[in-house]
Chains A and B, each alone.
Chain A
Amino acid sequence: VTLIDRYVAEVARRLPRGRRADIAQELRSTLLDARESRFGPTASDQDEAVLLRELGPPGRVAASYGSPEQHLIGPEWFPAFALALRIHLLSLVGVLVVGSALIVASAAPGEVAPGLARLLGGLVHYGLLAFGAVVLVFHLLERGAVRAPGAGGEWDPHTLPALPEGERVGRGEALTAVVGAAIGLILLHQFGNVDERSLGLTAPDLPTATAAGLRVVVRLWNAIVGDNLWWLSASAVLTMALYWVLLGQGRWRWYTRAAKLAVDLFGVYVAARIAQSVIAEQPALLQSGLPAEVVAIVLRVAAAAPYAVAALVVLETGVRLARAWREREASSLGRVQAAPRR
Chain B
Amino acid sequence: MAVDGTEPTQEQRLPAELRRGVVALAVLGALRTPAYGYSLQQTLAERGFAVEQGTLYPLLRRLDEQGLLESDWTIDEARPRKYYRLSARGAEMLAELTEEWSRLVRTVDRLLNPEAAPDAVPAVPQPRSDL
Contacts and interface: CB of A to CB of B under 8 A. Distances in A.
A75 to B, nearest CB: 12
Interface stretch (B17-25, B70-78, B89-97, B113-121): B70-78
Interface in A141-199: 152-155
A22 B84 CA distance: 14
Contacts of A37: 38, 42
Contact of B61 (A32, A53, A65, A342): A65
B79 A29 contact: yes
B88 to A, nearest CB: 17
A27 interface: yes
Contacts of A56: 1, 54
Nearest to A26: B82
B75 A33 contact: no
A153 B38 contact: no
Given A30-B38, A65-B61, A342-B73, A53 B79 contact: no
Contacts of B57: 26-27, 30, 64-65
Interface stretch (A204-212, A215-223, A288-296, A333-341): A333-341
Given A26-B82, A29-B80, A339-B75, A64 B54 contact: yes
B36 A153 contact: no
A34 B38 contact: yes
A37 B43 CA distance: 13
A155 B5 CA distance: 7
A33 B81 CA distance: 10
A55 interface: yes
A30 B40 CA distance: 11
A56 B1 CA distance: 8
B79 A32 contact: yes
Interface centre among A26, A154, A155 (most CB of B within 10 A): A26
B65 to A, nearest CB: 10
Interface string B37-58: 1110010000000000111011
Contacts of B5: 153-155
B7 interface: yes
Interface in A284-342: 337-342
Given A30-B37, A340-B73, A53 B82 contact: no
A325 B104 CA distance: 53
A87 B53 CA distance: 36
Contacts of A30: 36-38, 53, 57
Contacts of B123: none
Contacts of B61: 19, 23, 65
Residue from A25, A27, A339 having most chain B Cβ neighbours under 10 A: A339
A69 interface: no
B3 interface: yes
Contacts of A19: 61
Given A33-B38, A56-B1, 8 more contacts: A29-B38, A29-B81, A30-B37, A60-B54, A153-B6, A339-B73, A340-B73, A341-B73
16 contacts: A26-B37, A29-B81, A30-B37, A30-B57, A33-B37, A37-B38, A37-B42, A56-B1, A61-B54, A64-B58, A152-B7, A155-B5, A338-B75, A338-B80, A340-B73, A341-B73
Query: Lowest 10 A-B CB distances belong to which pairs?
Result: A339-B80, A154-B5, A33-B38, A339-B73, A64-B58, A339-B75, A65-B58, A30-B37, A26-B82, A30-B38
